[in-house]
A and B are shown apart, each in its own frame.
Chain A
Amino acid sequence: MPAFPSLTRRHLLGGAALAASQGAIGSARAAGKFTVGFIYVGTRNDYGYNQAHAEGAAAVRKMPGVVVVEQERVPETVAVGNAMQGMVQLDGASLLFPTSYGYYDPFVLKAAKADPAVTFLHCGGLWKAGQPLNAHSYFGYIDEAVYLSGVVAAHSSKTRKFGFVAAKPIPQVLRNINAFTLGAQSVQPSITTQVIFTGDWFLPVREAEATNSLADQGCDVITCHVDSPKVVIETAEKRGLFTTGYHTNQMVLAPKGYLTGAEWDWPSLYPRLVRSAMAKQPIPNMLRGGFHSGFVRSSPYNPIVPAAARKQADAIRARFLAGNVAIFKGPIQDNKGSTVIAAGTVLDEHDVTLEQMNYLVAGVAGSVS
């Protein structure tokens, strides 16, 4: 595929009008500036996945010599390919953050092949050997923070039933459900988690219904893995339940019941990545990290979180930071009674078998198919 030189045929294609309009509008291709493009799959202020990235973009925007261009609600179709190319060709972007998991294959791969001079930093952790070297994919071990949420919530729960509103039964989501349950069970082994899958990443009415169903089943702690946790957190607050957040901090939505939450720490990571790219320092193609490398963080505790819970969670966080604790260590049984991690086996966070998780651990009510 040719790398389309942007203005080669401008005389054929109305170049005069183009030149005039570009002068009038003022392109973002400002002299000597480093342009970084961010592409989101949803709305930037969704109190969720996209807002977490936009907060990272806001931190990048503050850097001297950097211009940020953004585009939101870009579907995982040719639209994202065109958005990336547009940012490169028309805005002069040299670094792109296509932030949705589904952008990677085939769109980021194709764009990276076509524009070797542009650096692509994709969120999802999908890069494999043999793929373009200017394509990079990063992801956080957010299950560490979700595990801590489970620990904290276990101290507050009376009914010992947790509810989890999830989008789809995919490994990332299952890993969070399991980490949440294991964290809670590390405090109180009799805790169980009820899961409801809504079927998609953003379905407000169904998420509210799922939350209410969980409340009706006696769950008193609710968390979720959907793109925008806003509806789940607000609905649970109305039902007087405890919640733990996801993606960003949702404390303002539920000041009474929001205990803590698992957040992406993109405002810490993105300026570091942009600085490396500007200095032309190498960036690994595959980037993973948890608390230890500043990829994830926990929301500040609600004042109602008891001291014992804080103390225990802080101690575990210190061990995550030091890198000497594993969430998934045998023996672990799934909820059908078969052993999925044998006694004595410890899967640390980097272990690839965790990326293929297709089970729910004992104590989780729900099914993966």
Chain B
Amino acid sequence: MRLARGIEAALPPVLALLATAVLFAAFLGLSGTDPRAAYGLIWLGAFGTAFSWQNTLLRAAPLLLTGLCTALPAQLGLVIIGGEGAFVLGALAAAAVGLKLAATGMAPVGIDGAMALAAMAAGGVVIALSGALRHWRGVNETISSLLLAYIAIAVMNQLVEGVLRDPASLNKPSTRALPDALMLGAIPTGSLPISVHVGLLFGLIACLLAYGLIFHTTFGFATRMVGGNLRAARMAGLPVGRLILIVTALGGAAAGLAGMVEVAAVQGAASADIAAGYGFTGILVAFLARQNPLAIIPVAVLLGGIDASGGLLEQRLDLPDATIQVLRGLLFLSLLTVEALQGRLRLAELLRWRRAPAVAQAVNATVSGP
């Protein structure tokens, strides 16, 4: 039974990957590039060497968290695309709080904890605002979250060039640098020649927690009920408004935490470089994972790998840097198409065990609910 469920859920992404591989090969072939060479390089750049793995995991780390920013509200049937805003505000809050507390002589672990909390609060507030506007004012959350992201980036720039600016950051306006003691370290990997910061662990843990919350608690059940049928949820007496606030805040908190990791493990200070698009890529991650927090993990690694291989395609095959973007777009479109065709062509039926249809239908209903 579990296996049938697994196959059922994994089928569309796998078919979509295959379809993408074919389409992308055709695209490359048409533009005069040998697809085999390109696939060889993508493999090499993404997973071919220890260094490639490190590269891939470093890029996947923020995506685990920003993916949750879209995937969690999706359980309620909301489409949030403003994770970038939560990310930059999280980064900003983390830097501000970290620098403030560093002056007090507090223990570094405590400061890092406070930074993470501040980042999660900042990210949570901005996404919860979209959720609240949706619930209490009827403002479309997709558009409001995107507008809030643009506004958040402007606020970040204004602060980083204004009150939070380190006067010594001459030509790259930034906050002061965090003391080294506050910087997050690498995950111990023993003899493996891979060095990835602990932000990756934060992401993995967050995905697991989110999965548990959504699929194994009453709260999660209520959340999915709101997403499945709002009217029924209301009639059942569920506190819809409160659920929306909490779940959107959790999604925003995840993206905010990713911003904290970017400051405390990568950049060392907040500057305009914080807004590098991880929040936007998170949308793609969430949809490819079919909004399932657990599936975000492999999807983030896959997308991180694709990103990591972009440089090689550019250097060795002279392909434009946007090649990776085309590949991502194709992947997204294929997945949506395959998911839809699955119902019509009954591809799943072929693989479905005879006694499992009821379960499969239930799964289908959950996965494609919103």
Interface residues of A (CB under 8 A from B): 1-2, 4-10, 13-14, 17-18, 20-22, 24-28, 69-79, 81-83, 85-87, 89-91, 101-102, 105-106, 124, 168-172, 199-200, 355-356, 369
Q: Which residues of A contact B140 (CB under 8 A)?
A: none
Across the interface, do A13 and B311 meet the contact criterion of CB distance under 8 Å? no
Tell me the complex Cα distance, A14–B43, Å. 9
Q: Which residues of A contact B194 (CB under 8 A)?
A: 4
Is B349 an interface position by the 8 A CB rule?
Answer: no
Q: Within residues 163 to 194 of chain B, which ones have a CB less than 8 A from any CB in chain A?
A: 170-173, 177, 186, 192-194
Is B25 an interface position by the 8 A CB rule?
Answer: no
Q: Which residues of A contact B308 (CB under 8 A)?
A: 82
Across the interface, do A87 and B315 meet the contact criterion of CB distance under 8 Å? yes
Tell me the complex Cα distance, A27–B295, Å. 35
- Which single member of A28, A77, A81, A199 contacts B276 (CB below 8 Å)? A77
Across the interface, do A86 and B51 meet the contact criterion of CB distance under 8 Å? yes
Q: Which residues of A contact B36 (CB under 8 A)?
A: 24
Across the interface, do A91 and B315 meet the contact criterion of CB distance under 8 Å? yes
Is B142 an interface position by the 8 A CB rule?
Answer: no
Q: Within residues 26 to 78 of chain B, which ones have a CB less than 8 A from any CB in chain A?
A: 36-37, 40-41, 43-45, 47-55, 58-59
Known: A22-B44, A25-B41, A169-B161. A101 touches B49 (CB 8 A): no
Tell me the complex Cα distance, A18–B312, Å. 13
Known: A82-B59, A124-B171, A355-B170. A28 touches B43 (CB 8 A): no
Across the interface, do B276 and A168 meet the contact criterion of CB distance under 8 Å? no
Q: Which residues of A contact B55 (CB under 8 A)?
A: 82, 85-86
Across the interface, do A9 and B172 meet the contact criterion of CB distance under 8 Å? no
- Which single member of B41, B49, B272 contacts A6 (CB below 8 Å)? B49
Which residue in chain A gives the minimum CB-CB distance to B154?
A199
Which residue in chain A gives the minimum CB-CB distance to B56?
A82
Across the interface, do B45 and A102 meet the contact criterion of CB distance under 8 Å? no
Which residue in chain B gives the minimum CB-CB distance to A90?
B312
Across the interface, do A21 and B316 meet the contact criterion of CB distance under 8 Å? no
Tell me the complex Cα distance, A15–B364, Å. 39
Known: A21-B43, A70-B314. A168 touches B161 (CB 8 A): yes
- Which single member of B40, B170, B272 contacts A21 (CB below 8 Å)? B40
Which residue in chain B gives the minimum CB-CB distance to A22?
B44
Q: Is the interface of B mostly helix, strand, loop or mixed?
A: helix
Interface segment out of the listed B209-217, B252-260, B263-271: B263-271
Which residue in chain A gives the minimum CB-CB distance to B275?
A75
- Which single member of A2, A9, A14, A22 contacts B195 (CB below 8 Å)? A2
Nearest chain B CB to A48's CB is how many angstroms away?
Answer: 17
Q: Which residues of B contact A172 (CB under 8 A)?
A: 170-171
Q: Which residues of A contact B315 (CB under 8 A)?
A: 28, 69-71, 87, 91
- Which single member of B48, B192, B271 contacts A102 (CB below 8 Å)? B271
- Which single member of A13, A124, A170, A199 contacts B49 (CB below 8 Å)? A13
Across the interface, do A90 and B321 meet the contact criterion of CB distance under 8 Å? no
Q: Which residues of A contact B268 (CB under 8 A)?
A: 105-106
Across the interface, do B321 and A7 meet the contact criterion of CB distance under 8 Å? no
Among A13, A14, A28, A87, the one with the most B-chain Cβ atoms within 10 Å of its Cβ is: A13
- Which single member of A6, A13, A82 contacts B58 (CB below 8 Å)? A82
Across the interface, do B172 and A101 meet the contact criterion of CB distance under 8 Å? yes
Known: A75-B273, A75-B276, A86-B312. A171 touches B48 (CB 8 A): no
Given A77-B262, A82-B55, A356-B170, list of 12 further CB < 8 A pairs?
A1-B186, A2-B193, A4-B194, A6-B50, A21-B41, A28-B315, A70-B315, A86-B51, A86-B55, A89-B49, A106-B267, A168-B161
Across the interface, do A21 and B44 meet the contact criterion of CB distance under 8 Å? yes
Nearest chain B CB to A121's CB is how many angstroms away?
Answer: 18
Tell me the complex Cα distance, A83–B309, Å. 10
A-B contact pairs, 16 of them (CB 8 A): A2-B195, A4-B54, A13-B53, A18-B48, A21-B43, A25-B41, A25-B316, A25-B317, A74-B311, A75-B277, A82-B308, A82-B311, A86-B45, A86-B55, A170-B170, A172-B170
Across the interface, do B59 and A13 meet the contact criterion of CB distance under 8 Å? no
Nearest chain A CB to B369's CB is how many angstroms away?
Answer: 35
Which residue in chain B gives the minimum CB-CB distance to A357?
B170
Tell me the complex Cα distance, A67–B268, Å. 34
Across the interface, do B50 and A72 meet the contact criterion of CB distance under 8 Å? no
Q: Which residues of B contact A86 (CB under 8 A)?
A: 45, 51, 55, 311-312
Shortest beta-carbon contacts, A-B, top 4 = A21-B40, A76-B273, A18-B48, A69-B315
Which residue in chain A gives the minimum CB-CB distance to B320?
A72
Across the interface, do B321 and A18 meet the contact criterion of CB distance under 8 Å? no
Is B157 an interface position by the 8 A CB rule?
Answer: yes
Is B343 an interface position by the 8 A CB rule?
Answer: no
Across the interface, do A8 and B44 meet the contact criterion of CB distance under 8 Å? no
- Which single member of B53, B58, B316, B321 contacts A27 (CB below 8 Å)? B316
Tell me the complex Cα distance, A111–B311, Å. 17
Across the interface, do B171 and A17 meet the contact criterion of CB distance under 8 Å? no
Tell me the complex Cα distance, A124–B262, Å. 23
Which residue in chain A gives the minimum CB-CB distance to B48?
A18
- Which single member of B50, B59, B172, B277 contacts A78 (CB below 8 Å)? B59
Q: Which residues of B contact A355 (CB under 8 A)?
A: 170
Known: A9-B192, A25-B40. A4 touches B170 (CB 8 A): no
Which residue in chain B gives the minimum CB-CB distance to A83?
B311
Is B110 an interface position by the 8 A CB rule?
Answer: no
